[in-house]
Structure 1
Amino acid sequence: MDIKDIQNLIKFVSKAEVSEVKYKTKDFEITIKTPLGGNEVTYMQQPPVYHTGAQQISAPQPQAAAPATPNAAEEPVADESKLVTIKSPMIGTFYRKPSPDKDVFVNVGDEVSVGKVVCVIEAMKLFNQIESEVSGKIVKILVDDTTPVEYDQPLFLVDPS
């Protein structure tokens, strides 16, 4: 069972609103448990509220620079149709470096090829290397280092030409 199958199973369990699912084959066994008790759910909801508050505090700073952003964004819009997006295959924390004392995997303007590691996403204390699915030149990095990312969130824009 690969990571995409596990992610799909987790999505299914969360949508089904069950408390526990066990999946077992000859070579593989997984148990997914979800909190359904009132207290556990309340504790799970509190961190996003604090996290959202922190985002609101930092949000006005980019809004102050917003007038410059649309002008800059209008120019590459015509080119964006040919750009390929590298998306996050999982939920976790995005890291541009393999470790704090190392250099970043890729910068804007760097050439990437299929299979080249472009970042790391930490999920449940596991560091997963994310490889490029396309060859080309990194045009834009869409996520800041050490920030949380969602499943299928765009991470990089690549010009395949």
Structure 2
Amino acid sequence: MLKVQEIRELIKLIDDSHIDEFSYESDGTKVSMKKNSEQVVTEVPTEVKQSAVPQQTQPVQEEQTQRKEPAVEKKEQETQSEESSHYDKEVISPMVGTFYQSPSPDQGPYVQVGDQVKQESVVCIVEAMKLFNEIEAEVSGEIVEILVNDGELVEYGQPLFRVKTA
């Protein structure tokens, strides 16, 4: 199964390219992306089949990742430092879906303001096409703000939490 960061990188690559549709299959997991006016990300377990992506496409995408990532990271860091000094990082939604603070309605939220999180800490769930995707903090620190209400629709790249790193 792909990690959230890998899915984010794929989305950025597709968004920055002229590709309108992309499919990838590996180890029983299929990721399909289409872009028009909106991005749709689907992750569905399937039987392992041959990849629909030509082998020639993969090195080009790796090249783009190496070339564009530092510029994207620098831009994000500049934007974050301009916006506020009381937090360092934002946990963003890697996909379009419905935001849930807890694993089920009868349980408490994964995190609350003031909670300490680690990189691998699950902070929420984003439901997309009946799949419940656990979202990890990807940074260690303290939750200083929750930016989305439970049950609210979120977009790709939308900030969900603000985290003050130590």
TM bin (shorter chain): 0.5 to 0.7
Percent sequence identity is: 44
Give 1:34-113 correspondences, 5 Å limit: 79-80=85-86, 82-113=87-118
Bigger Cα Rg: 1
How many residue pairs end up in the alignment? 115
1:6-31 CA distance string (max 9 Å, x none): 9639x56xx6557xx76667x56859
Partners of 1:87 and 1:30 in 2: CA distance:
22
The structure whose residues are more often helix, as a share, is 1
Give 4+ residue runs of structure 1 displaced > 6 Å after superposition.
Answer: none
Aligned 8 A contact 1:84 1:157 in 2: yes
> For structure 2, which runs of at least 5 residues remain unmatched after alignment?
35-82
RMSD over aligned CA atoms reads: 3.5
TM-score normalised over the length of structure 1: 0.57
Displacement after TM superposition at 1:114 (Å): 1.4
Aligned 8 A contact 1:22 1:29 in 2: no
Partners of 1:101 and 1:117 in 2: CA distance:
18
Aligned equivalent of 2:143: 138
Partners of 1:135 and 1:33 in 2: CA distance:
30
| Alpha-carbon distance change, 16 to 145 in structure 1, aligned in 2, over 3 angstroms | same
Q: Which letter does structure 1 place at the counterpart of 2:130?
A: K
Displacement after TM superposition at 1:95 (Å): 0.3
